[in-house]
Amino acid sequence: SNRLLPHVEKHFHEKPREVETGLASLGLSIDPAQYTAPNITFSLLKRITRKRINLEETITMHTEITFIFKEKFLGQILPLFSVSM
């Protein structure tokens, strides 16, 4: 959030080299039982790349993956991972 930027700069005692605005993120939890299965990350990335949407960043952890992208793509990315209950 832009309103928090001055607080972050004060905390770290330096200005960032770059500030990106207008970003959104989507975090997905992965079942720990599926963690050792091959191509989990690739299969999730493939959903986004088929729409030709650039990712700003991808963060992976043991049981979670977070995609960071331009906010304008949020409406296109969310349906790719919607689960019907």
SS3 30: coil
Residues 48-69 pLDDT 10s: 999 999 999 999 988 899 999 9
**What is the pLDDT at residue 31?**
87
CA distance 71 to 1: 13
Whether this prediction's pTM lies above 0.95 is answered by no
The residues that bridge with 65 in the sheet, in sequence order, are: 28, 60
Say yes or no to pLDDT of 79 above 60.
yes
pLDDT band at 33 (very low <50, low <70, confident <90, very high): confident
